[in-house]
């Protein structure tokens, strides 16, 4: 399969292919399942469920149970430990992906294979084709803030790395990128460098060197773009000096990076002066990206879900440039593609590609905005999943994935809302992770509820010209009664009165009936807002990167569990002030 792709592809052909697939999504799904089961029916995992070579959805659903990662972990571990028998797939798995670990709290192993790489290319090409129709880009370069983590060998000798690393390292990736006529500004040595601080500096430098050619500024998750330009604010003078003098800053110590980037650098006082003037003309870094990279057509990256809180800052840097939200997937595999790139990120949806896996949807009652009822996100009797074409517009679902890489009826843990259909395939809006919950007794608040509460309270900061840089939360049950703790890192010191009001506003903004009633009778204590020292969230990212996570896949954990002692320790070591709500 790999290597078959043409160097250049015709976006209109790709769109036509997608239209065909989505026109008959039900049939394509049945065919995908048939293919998955034919290719892998002999694998030990599938054999035990008595499918007896049947490949229809009805038999599959009747025989094979719904599982989560814990159920499959022993099988994946045996693969990682070097067992060569066909355990989950017909063809043995030779590569393992390490999920970022920031959504689940701990990294987990998932299988990676050529078929996943192939679907990655299909997603990239399809979404590029739709993007390019609305925002055509000429020949040029992409300033991509992408970073690979280290690949390592598992006990059994399999290559393991984060999913993004496995993708970037795959020769298919480069081909796909050049087929889109947007090679990365930075040489490979920067992307694959062992120290992301140095890689980031060089991404910025390479971007500036090719500033006229940059057509797109992107990253996997939008957080990396914010992180990059916040760093730019700190190091821009050094970057300008490097360009003026044509020699690389001493901060770049990794030899391979030094050699590769030095080749691109030559003394260029004209460019240095231009950049200097552009920056001097800016007010508060507003519109920084188009000033630096005048031919950029759009900013691209995942901007939905836990990335939404960064949109305000991204718009600040982006000025008038459109923000295009990237596709929906996970280390376990891709789900859907953004075929409506003109929609603002807050409204972005993902059309499911019906040939890359077999998808089921567990209905979940949506009552997050209904304070009268207790949340039903966790209920004892769960409704049966429905098929891809049976989902209903306006309803919420948890996604269940069966793919070509050994996952069968696997609960991904994400909640999505069906916003409509593209032909006969649903367009999903990402809602939140299902298991990220703030809960003490009868209260249940999701990642989304937390985000909305934080958004409401942060407007009080903007009135003071202060910026919320990042946030997380914790359920503190060491007090009696237990209470919610929200951690904030803010751009500058804020007045006590303002922060007290923010704290009250946070407390009032959790409107689920369980929380409100528990607060009223004090079975949940007053919400606490703890303010962190500048740089705390960078320390948290460094911690995850140290564990093997890739910066490209980093998502700030929005709720830190009791067992995540290191992160809790980083947080508590960096608290400068705290406030208790008096809202109830």
Residues that bind ligand AMP (CB under 6 A): 99-100, 103, 163, 302, 304-305, 328-331, 412, 414, 430, 433, 553
Residue 201 or 328: the one with the smaller Cβ distance to ligand AMP is 328
Name residue 403's beta-bridge partners.
357
Helix residue ranges, H only, 210-324:
223-245, 255-262, 269-280, 288-292, 311-318
For 76, list phi and psi in degrees, rounded to 5.
-65, -40
Residue 333 CB, nearest approach to ligand AMP (Å) = 9
Residue 578: in which H helix or E strand, if any?
strand 575-580
Residue 111 CB, nearest approach to ligand AMP (Å) = 13
Residues listed for the chain: 584
CB proximity list for 184: less than 8 A, separation 6 or greater: 141, 142, 143, 144, 146, 177, 191
Residue 140 CB, nearest approach to ligand AMP (Å) = 25
Residue 345 CB, nearest approach to ligand AMP (Å) = 9
d(CA 317, CA 315): 5
Residue 93 or 185: the one with the smaller Cβ distance to ligand AMP is 93
Residue 201 or 310: the one with the smaller Cβ distance to ligand AMP is 310
Residue 100 CB, nearest approach to ligand AMP (Å) = 4
Residue 211 or 223: the one with the smaller Cβ distance to ligand AMP is 223
Residue 175 or 411: the one with the smaller Cβ distance to ligand AMP is 411
Residue 304 or 504: the one with the smaller Cβ distance to ligand AMP is 304
Nearest residue to ligand AMP by CB is 305
Residue 364: in which H helix or E strand, if any?
strand 357-364
CB proximity list for 175: less than 8 A, separation 6 or greater: 5, 7
Residue 325 or 574: the one with the smaller Cβ distance to ligand AMP is 325
Residue 136 or 344: the one with the smaller Cβ distance to ligand AMP is 344
Residue 154 or 304: the one with the smaller Cβ distance to ligand AMP is 304
Residue 147 or 201: the one with the smaller Cβ distance to ligand AMP is 147
d(CA 532, CA 470): 10
Beta-carbon count within 10 A of 383 CB? 12
| Contact assessment for residue 314 and residue 321, using Cβ atoms and an 8 Å cutoff | no
Residue 201 CB, nearest approach to ligand AMP (Å) = 24
Residue 152: in which H helix or E strand, if any?
strand 152-153
Residue 210 or 430: the one with the smaller Cβ distance to ligand AMP is 430
| Contact assessment for residue 201 and residue 241, using Cβ atoms and an 8 Å cutoff | no
For β-strands 323-325 and 410-422, DSSP reports them as unpaired
| Contact assessment for residue 404 and residue 37, using Cβ atoms and an 8 Å cutoff | no
**Before 481, cis peptide (omega within 30)?**
yes
Residue 414 CB, nearest approach to ligand AMP (Å) = 5
For β-strands 328-330 and 323-325, DSSP reports them as unpaired
Residue 433 CB, nearest approach to ligand AMP (Å) = 5
d(CA 357, CA 93): 17
Residue 415 CB, nearest approach to ligand AMP (Å) = 9
Residue 460 CB, nearest approach to ligand AMP (Å) = 27
Residue 352 CB, nearest approach to ligand AMP (Å) = 13
Beta-carbon count within 10 A of 65 CB? 9
Angle of helix 255-262 relative to helix 196-209, nearest 10 degrees, comes to 0
């Amino acid at each position: 399969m790999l290597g078959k792709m043409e160097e250049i592809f015709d976006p209109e052909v790709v769109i036509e292919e997608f239209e065909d697939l989505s026109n008959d999504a039900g049939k394509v799904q049945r065919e995908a399942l048939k293919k998955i089961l034919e290719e892998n029916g002999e694998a030990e995992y599938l054999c035990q469920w008595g499918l007896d070579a049947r490949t229809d959805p009805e038999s599959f659903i009747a025989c094979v149970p719904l599982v989560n990662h814990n159920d499959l972990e022993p099988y994946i571990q045996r693969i990682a430990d070097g067992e060569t028998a066909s355990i989950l797939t017909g063809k043995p798995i030779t590569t393992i992906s390490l999920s970022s670990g920031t959504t689940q709290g701990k990294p987990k192993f998932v299988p990676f294979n050529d078929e996943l790489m192939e679907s990655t290319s299909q997603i990239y090409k399809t979404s590029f084709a739709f993007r390019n129709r609305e925002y055509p880009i000429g020949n040029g370069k992409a300033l991509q803030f992408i970073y690979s983590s280290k690949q390592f060998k598992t006990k059994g000798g399999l290559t393991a790395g984060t999913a993004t690393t496995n993708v970037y390292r795959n020769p298919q990736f480069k081909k796909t990128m050049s087929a889109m006529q947007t090679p990365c500004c930075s040489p490979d040595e920067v992307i694959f460098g062992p120290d992301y601080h140095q890689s980031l500096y060089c991404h910025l430098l390479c971007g500036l060197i090719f500033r006229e050619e940059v057509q797109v500024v992107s990253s996997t998750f939008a957080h990396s773009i914010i992180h990059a330009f916040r760093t730019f604010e700190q190091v821009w003078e050094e970057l300008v000096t490097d360009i003026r003098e044509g020699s690389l800053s001493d901060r770049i110590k990794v030899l391979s990076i030094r050699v590769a980037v030095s080749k691109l650098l030559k003394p260029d006082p004209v460019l240095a002066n231009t950049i200097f003037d552009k920056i001097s003309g800016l007010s508060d870094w507003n519109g920084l990206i188009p000033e630096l990279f005048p031919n950029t057509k759009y900013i691209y990256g995942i901007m939905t879900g836990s990335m939404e809180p960064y949109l305000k800052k991204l718009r600040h840097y982006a000025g008038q440039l459109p923000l295009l939200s990237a596709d929906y997937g996970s280390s376990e595999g891709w789900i859907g593609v953004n075929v409506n790139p003109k929609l603002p990120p807050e409204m972005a949806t993902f059309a499911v590609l019906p040939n890359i896996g077999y998808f089921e949807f567990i209905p979940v009652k949506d009552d997050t905005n209904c304070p009268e009822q207790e949340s039903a996100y966790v209920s004892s009797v769960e409704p049966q999943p429905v098929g891809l074409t049976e989902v209903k517009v306006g309803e919420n679902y948890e996604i269940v994935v069966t793919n070509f890489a050994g996952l069968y009826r696997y609960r991904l843990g994400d909640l999505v809302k069906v916003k409509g259909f593209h032909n006969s395939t649903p367009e999903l809006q990402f809602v939140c992770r299902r298991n990220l919950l703030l809960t003490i007794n009868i209260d249940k608040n999701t990642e989304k509820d937390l985000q909305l509460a934080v958004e409401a309270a942060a407007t009080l900061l903007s009135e003071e010209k202060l910026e919320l840089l990042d946030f997380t939360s914790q359920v503190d049950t060491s007090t009696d009664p237990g209470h919610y703790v929200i951690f904030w890192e803010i751009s500058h010191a804020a007045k006590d009165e303002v922060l007290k009001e923010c704290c009250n506003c946070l407390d009032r903004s959790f409107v689920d009936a369980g929380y409100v009633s528990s607060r009223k009778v004090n079975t949940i204590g007053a919400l606490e807002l703890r303010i962190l020292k500048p740089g705390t969230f960078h320390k948290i990212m460094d911690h995850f990167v140290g564990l093997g996570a890739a910066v490209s896949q980093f998502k700030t954990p929005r709720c830190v569990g009791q067992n995540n002692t290191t992160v809790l320790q980083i947080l508590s070591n960096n608290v400068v002030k705290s406030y208790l709500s008096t809202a109830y």
